[in-house]
Amino acid sequence: MSNILVTRAGGVATIALNRPERHNAFDDVLIADLTGAFAGVGEDPEVRAVVLESAGPSFSAGADLGWMKRMAGYSHEENLRDAMALAALMQTIDRCPKPTLAVVQGAAYGGGVGLIAACDIAVASDAAVFSLSEVKLGLIPAVISPYVIAAMGERACRRYFLTAERFTAAEAHRLGLVHEIVAADGLAGARDRILKRLFECGPAAQAAAKDLIAAVARRPTDEAVMADTARRIAAVRASDEGREGVGAFLEKRDPKWRS
Protein backbone atom coordinates (compact mmCIF):
# COMPACT_ATOMS: atom_id res chain seq x y z
CA MET A 1 0.00 0.00 0.00
CA SER A 2 1.27 3.44 -0.92
CA ASN A 3 2.32 5.76 1.93
CA ILE A 4 0.48 8.63 0.27
CA LEU A 5 -2.24 9.03 -2.31
CA VAL A 6 -2.13 11.96 -4.73
CA THR A 7 -5.19 12.83 -6.81
CA ARG A 8 -5.90 15.76 -9.09
CA ALA A 9 -9.35 17.00 -10.03
CA GLY A 10 -10.69 20.39 -11.06
CA GLY A 11 -7.46 22.21 -10.33
CA VAL A 12 -7.16 20.74 -6.83
CA ALA A 13 -4.35 18.34 -5.90
CA THR A 14 -5.20 16.25 -2.84
CA ILE A 15 -2.31 14.64 -0.97
CA ALA A 16 -3.51 12.08 1.54
CA LEU A 17 -1.37 10.40 4.18
CA ASN A 18 -2.25 6.74 3.76
CA ARG A 19 -0.93 4.79 6.74
CA PRO A 20 -4.10 4.58 8.84
CA GLU A 21 -2.92 1.41 10.55
CA ARG A 22 0.08 3.41 11.85
CA HIS A 23 -2.00 6.53 12.61
CA ASN A 24 -0.28 8.17 9.62
CA ALA A 25 2.98 8.36 11.54
CA PHE A 26 5.91 9.20 9.33
CA ASP A 27 9.27 7.62 8.71
CA ASP A 28 12.06 8.37 6.26
CA VAL A 29 10.14 6.80 3.34
CA LEU A 30 6.94 8.75 3.97
CA ILE A 31 8.94 11.97 4.41
CA ALA A 32 10.61 11.44 1.03
CA ASP A 33 7.29 10.58 -0.65
CA LEU A 34 5.53 13.60 0.84
CA THR A 35 8.36 15.96 -0.11
CA GLY A 36 8.26 14.70 -3.69
CA ALA A 37 4.49 15.01 -3.85
CA PHE A 38 4.44 18.64 -2.67
CA ALA A 39 7.30 19.54 -4.99
CA GLY A 40 5.45 17.93 -7.89
CA VAL A 41 2.09 19.61 -7.37
CA GLY A 42 3.81 22.92 -6.71
CA GLU A 43 5.29 22.79 -10.21
CA ASP A 44 2.10 21.59 -11.92
CA PRO A 45 0.54 24.49 -13.86
CA GLU A 46 -2.86 22.77 -13.76
CA VAL A 47 -2.96 22.81 -9.96
CA ARG A 48 -4.56 25.83 -8.31
CA ALA A 49 -4.65 24.60 -4.71
CA VAL A 50 -3.35 21.71 -2.61
CA VAL A 51 -5.27 19.84 0.10
CA LEU A 52 -3.40 17.82 2.73
CA GLU A 53 -5.53 15.22 4.47
CA SER A 54 -5.23 11.77 6.05
CA ALA A 55 -6.90 8.39 5.86
CA GLY A 56 -8.35 6.83 9.01
CA PRO A 57 -9.18 8.34 12.40
CA SER A 58 -5.84 10.13 13.03
CA PHE A 59 -4.33 13.01 11.11
CA SER A 60 -0.76 12.08 12.06
CA ALA A 61 0.84 10.63 15.18
CA GLY A 62 4.20 12.18 14.33
CA ALA A 63 7.23 9.89 14.22
CA ASP A 64 6.74 6.19 13.54
CA LEU A 65 7.86 3.85 16.36
CA GLY A 66 9.99 1.72 14.05
CA TRP A 67 11.69 4.82 12.69
CA MET A 68 12.32 6.08 16.23
CA LYS A 69 13.84 2.75 17.16
CA ARG A 70 16.23 2.94 14.19
CA MET A 71 17.10 6.57 15.01
CA ALA A 72 18.08 5.59 18.55
CA GLY A 73 21.03 3.70 17.07
CA TYR A 74 22.00 6.34 14.51
CA SER A 75 25.28 8.20 14.66
CA HIS A 76 25.29 11.99 14.91
CA GLU A 77 25.90 12.26 11.16
CA GLU A 78 23.02 9.88 10.37
CA ASN A 79 20.72 11.80 12.71
CA LEU A 80 21.72 15.04 11.01
CA ARG A 81 20.90 13.71 7.52
CA ASP A 82 17.61 12.32 8.80
CA ALA A 83 16.63 15.60 10.46
CA MET A 84 17.55 17.60 7.36
CA ALA A 85 15.17 15.45 5.31
CA LEU A 86 12.29 16.39 7.64
CA ALA A 87 13.39 20.04 7.55
CA ALA A 88 13.31 19.90 3.75
CA LEU A 89 9.75 18.51 3.83
CA MET A 90 8.53 21.32 6.07
CA GLN A 91 10.21 23.92 3.89
CA THR A 92 8.76 22.39 0.72
CA ILE A 93 5.23 22.62 2.13
CA ASP A 94 5.81 26.12 3.49
CA ARG A 95 7.23 27.40 0.20
CA CYS A 96 4.77 25.65 -2.11
CA PRO A 97 3.69 28.37 -4.55
CA LYS A 98 0.09 27.13 -4.50
CA PRO A 99 -2.32 27.73 -1.60
CA THR A 100 -2.21 24.77 0.80
CA LEU A 101 -5.08 23.63 3.00
CA ALA A 102 -4.75 21.11 5.84
CA VAL A 103 -7.95 19.21 6.66
CA VAL A 104 -7.54 17.76 10.16
CA GLN A 105 -10.03 15.07 11.09
CA GLY A 106 -8.30 13.59 14.14
CA ALA A 107 -5.29 13.54 16.43
CA ALA A 108 -2.15 15.42 15.37
CA TYR A 109 0.97 14.92 17.47
CA GLY A 110 4.56 16.12 17.15
CA GLY A 111 5.51 16.41 13.51
CA GLY A 112 1.84 16.14 12.56
CA VAL A 113 1.35 19.57 14.13
CA GLY A 114 4.29 20.74 12.04
CA LEU A 115 2.56 19.63 8.84
CA ILE A 116 -0.51 21.66 9.78
CA ALA A 117 1.52 24.74 10.71
CA ALA A 118 3.44 24.62 7.42
CA CYS A 119 0.20 24.82 5.43
CA ASP A 120 -1.37 28.19 4.64
CA ILE A 121 -4.82 27.35 5.95
CA ALA A 122 -6.08 24.69 8.34
CA VAL A 123 -9.57 23.53 9.19
CA ALA A 124 -10.16 20.93 11.90
CA SER A 125 -12.88 18.72 13.26
CA ASP A 126 -14.06 19.71 16.71
CA ALA A 127 -13.00 16.21 17.81
CA ALA A 128 -9.35 16.71 16.80
CA VAL A 129 -6.67 16.85 19.50
CA PHE A 130 -3.14 18.18 19.32
CA SER A 131 0.14 17.78 21.17
CA LEU A 132 3.76 18.85 20.80
CA SER A 133 4.76 15.65 22.54
CA GLU A 134 8.51 15.49 21.92
CA VAL A 135 9.77 16.41 25.40
CA LYS A 136 7.96 13.40 26.84
CA LEU A 137 10.54 11.35 24.94
CA GLY A 138 13.44 13.57 25.93
CA LEU A 139 13.43 15.19 22.49
CA ILE A 140 12.50 18.63 21.12
CA PRO A 141 10.25 19.78 18.23
CA ALA A 142 13.25 21.29 16.49
CA VAL A 143 12.79 21.30 12.72
CA ILE A 144 9.06 22.02 12.94
CA SER A 145 9.61 24.89 15.38
CA PRO A 146 9.87 27.78 12.86
CA TYR A 147 6.43 26.90 11.48
CA VAL A 148 4.70 26.07 14.77
CA ILE A 149 6.02 29.21 16.48
CA ALA A 150 4.90 31.30 13.48
CA ALA A 151 1.42 29.73 13.70
CA MET A 152 0.87 29.66 17.48
CA GLY A 153 3.18 32.34 18.78
CA GLU A 154 6.14 32.16 21.13
CA ARG A 155 4.09 32.47 24.30
CA ALA A 156 1.86 29.48 23.52
CA CYS A 157 4.89 27.43 22.48
CA ARG A 158 6.56 28.17 25.82
CA ARG A 159 3.72 26.21 27.39
CA TYR A 160 3.03 23.45 24.90
CA PHE A 161 6.64 22.71 23.91
CA LEU A 162 7.51 22.32 27.60
CA THR A 163 4.49 20.44 28.96
CA ALA A 164 3.62 18.25 25.95
CA GLU A 165 -0.02 18.67 27.02
CA ARG A 166 -2.78 17.67 24.70
CA PHE A 167 -4.99 20.54 23.64
CA THR A 168 -8.35 20.67 21.96
CA ALA A 169 -9.43 21.92 18.56
CA ALA A 170 -10.97 24.92 20.30
CA GLU A 171 -7.61 25.77 21.86
CA ALA A 172 -5.82 25.21 18.54
CA HIS A 173 -8.25 27.67 16.98
CA ARG A 174 -7.76 30.21 19.77
CA LEU A 175 -3.99 30.01 19.35
CA GLY A 176 -4.13 30.34 15.55
CA LEU A 177 -2.88 26.87 14.64
CA VAL A 178 -6.17 26.19 12.83
CA HIS A 179 -8.37 28.82 11.24
CA GLU A 180 -11.71 27.12 11.65
CA ILE A 181 -13.29 24.24 13.55
CA VAL A 182 -16.38 22.38 12.38
CA ALA A 183 -18.26 19.23 13.23
CA ALA A 184 -16.70 16.09 11.78
CA ASP A 185 -19.42 15.80 9.13
CA GLY A 186 -18.80 19.40 8.12
CA LEU A 187 -15.14 19.04 7.13
CA ALA A 188 -15.80 18.37 3.45
CA GLY A 189 -18.13 21.35 3.24
CA ALA A 190 -15.61 23.63 4.93
CA ARG A 191 -12.87 22.39 2.61
CA ASP A 192 -14.97 23.05 -0.49
CA ARG A 193 -16.03 26.48 0.74
CA ILE A 194 -12.42 27.54 1.32
CA LEU A 195 -11.34 26.14 -2.04
CA LYS A 196 -14.14 28.11 -3.72
CA ARG A 197 -12.80 31.31 -2.17
CA LEU A 198 -9.24 30.46 -3.24
CA PHE A 199 -10.38 29.86 -6.81
CA GLU A 200 -11.91 33.33 -6.89
CA CYS A 201 -8.43 34.86 -6.62
CA GLY A 202 -5.54 35.26 -9.04
CA PRO A 203 -3.08 32.37 -8.82
CA ALA A 204 -0.03 34.50 -9.62
CA ALA A 205 -1.14 37.04 -7.01
CA GLN A 206 -1.60 34.27 -4.46
CA ALA A 207 1.94 33.02 -5.10
CA ALA A 208 3.25 36.59 -4.80
CA ALA A 209 1.22 37.15 -1.62
CA LYS A 210 2.74 34.03 -0.04
CA ASP A 211 6.21 35.26 -0.94
CA LEU A 212 5.36 38.68 0.50
CA ILE A 213 4.29 37.19 3.81
CA ALA A 214 7.52 35.21 4.09
CA ALA A 215 9.59 38.28 3.29
CA VAL A 216 7.80 40.71 5.59
CA ALA A 217 6.50 38.75 8.58
CA ARG A 218 9.53 36.69 9.56
CA ARG A 219 12.90 35.53 8.48
CA PRO A 220 12.57 32.85 5.80
CA THR A 221 13.53 29.37 6.99
CA ASP A 222 16.80 29.37 5.09
CA GLU A 223 19.65 26.87 4.99
CA ALA A 224 21.19 28.31 8.15
CA VAL A 225 17.98 27.88 10.16
CA MET A 226 17.42 24.40 8.72
CA ALA A 227 20.97 23.39 9.58
CA ASP A 228 20.73 24.88 13.07
CA THR A 229 17.48 23.12 13.95
CA ALA A 230 18.73 19.85 12.44
CA ARG A 231 21.93 20.10 14.51
CA ARG A 232 19.87 20.65 17.64
CA ILE A 233 17.66 17.58 17.20
CA ALA A 234 20.61 15.45 16.09
CA ALA A 235 22.45 16.37 19.29
CA VAL A 236 19.40 15.77 21.50
CA ARG A 237 18.60 12.43 19.87
CA ALA A 238 22.14 11.23 20.58
CA SER A 239 22.14 12.53 24.17
CA ASP A 240 21.71 10.36 27.25
CA GLU A 241 18.30 11.90 27.94
CA GLY A 242 17.14 11.44 24.36
CA ARG A 243 18.16 7.78 24.32
CA GLU A 244 16.56 7.23 27.73
CA GLY A 245 13.30 8.87 26.69
CA VAL A 246 12.95 6.95 23.46
CA GLY A 247 14.03 3.71 25.15
CA ALA A 248 11.49 4.17 27.94
CA PHE A 249 8.73 4.88 25.43
CA LEU A 250 9.53 1.81 23.37
CA GLU A 251 9.84 -0.34 26.50
CA LYS A 252 6.56 1.04 27.92
CA ARG A 253 8.13 2.30 31.16
CA ASP A 254 8.60 5.68 32.78
CA PRO A 255 11.80 7.50 31.88
CA LYS A 256 14.23 8.05 34.72
CA TRP A 257 13.39 11.72 35.17
CA ARG A 258 9.69 10.97 35.68
CA SER A 259 10.41 8.75 38.70
In-domain check, residue 93: yes
Q: What are phi and psi of 162, to 5 degrees?
A: -90, -25
In-domain check, residue 113: yes
In-domain check, residue 65: yes
**C-alpha to C-alpha distances, 221 to 84, 129, 145, 176, 233, nearest whole angstrom:** 12, 27, 10, 20, 16
Q: Cα–Cα distance between 47 and 9 in angstroms, integer? A: 9
Q: Cα–Cα distance between 104 and 224 in angstroms, integer? A: 31
Q: Cα–Cα distance between 181 and 169 in angstroms, integer? A: 7
Please tell me the total count of domains within the chain: 1
What's the CATH number where 174 sits?
3.90.226.10
Q: Cα–Cα distance between 89 and 147 in angstroms, integer? A: 12
Note the pLDDT tens digit of each residue in 58-107: 999 998 888 888 887 888 898 899 999 999 999 999 999 999 999 999 99
Q: Which of 21, 46, 134, 241 is catalytic?
A: 134
Contact 104, 112 (CB under 8 A): no
In-domain check, residue 10: yes
In-domain check, residue 163: yes
Helix axes 223-237, 145-152, angle to 10 degrees: 110
Q: Cα–Cα distance between 143 and 137 in angstroms, integer? A: 16
Of 13-17, 52-56, 173-177, 221-225, least confident by mean pLDDT is: 221-225
In-domain check, residue 216: no
Q: Cα–Cα distance between 78 and 68 in angstroms, integer? A: 13
Task: Give me the mean pLDDT over the 227-256 stretch.
Answer: 89
Burial of 202 (0-12, 13-18, 19+ CB in 10 A): exposed
Pairwise pLDDT comparison (156 vs 2), residue with the higher score? 156
Is 134 known to be catalytic? yes
In-domain check, residue 211: no
Q: Which domain range does residue 54 map to?
A: 4-185
pTM: 0.92
pLDDT of residue 214: 84
Predicted confidence band at 129 (pLDDT cuts at 50, 70, 90)? very high
185-194 contacts, C-beta under 8 A, 24 or more apart: 187/103, 187/105, 187/123, 187/125, 190/103, 190/123, 191/51, 191/101, 191/103, 191/123, 194/101, 194/121, 194/123
In-domain check, residue 80: yes
